[in-house]
Amino acid sequence: MTLKDLKRYPEMSEPQLRPRYSGVATFFRTPLVDSLHDVDIGVIGVPFDGGVTNRTGTRHGPRAVREQTTLIRRVNQATGITPFDLVRVADCGDAFLEGPYELIAAHKEIEDYFAKFKAAKVTTLGVGGDHSISLPILRA
């Protein structure tokens, strides 16, 4: 990887320039956006575990995934492909749930949140959360 390549992705720095443990943790070190302009794939955290009766804690999943994906390199070492050259990927933050303790209401909020991305023609990748978040995401 050349310095020219690194300058193409200032938000996704190589560890030689900035340690991977520094900066704001986003999914795969992609930019954190609040606008869907120029976004092909939006990665959305869904910190929700209200659909389980035991073994809670999956609500911490989005944060853990963000932290761990800071260790992934931009270029796939086996194929030489840089996925972020093919599509514009952004971290779109977390789906905020006003009522995380009521399953049906929370699912409706998740569905409504993801529907905004569909309306903007942005493909979504939801990272949760418990298994119950799949249904409202698919409904959107």
Evaluate whether residue 3 is within a structural domain. no
Evaluate whether residue 1 is within a structural domain. no
H helix runs in 10-121, sequence order: 61-69, 83-86, 103-119
Evaluate whether residue 52 is within a structural domain. yes
* pLDDT tens-place string over residues 106-120: 999 999 999 999 999
Evaluate whether residue 134 is within a structural domain. yes
* pLDDT for res 76: 82
**Whole-number average pLDDT of the chain:** 85
Evaluate whether residue 17 is within a structural domain. no
Q: Is the pLDDT of residue 103 over 70?
A: yes
- Decide: 49 and 56 in contact? Cβ < 8 Å: yes
d(CA 116, CA 80): 34
Evaluate whether residue 83 is within a structural domain. yes
Listed in sequence order, the residues at least 6 apart from 35 whose beta carbon sits closer than 8 Å to its beta carbon are: none
Evaluate whether residue 133 is within a structural domain. yes
Domain encompassing residue 107: 23-139
Confidence of residue 1 (pLDDT cuts 50, 70, 90): very low
Evaluate whether residue 15 is within a structural domain. no
* pLDDT tens-place string over residues 4-42: 555 555 555 556 666 777 778 888 888 889 889 899 999
CATH number at residue 67: 3.40.800.10
Domain total in the chain? 1
Amino acid identity of residue 74, one-letter, is R
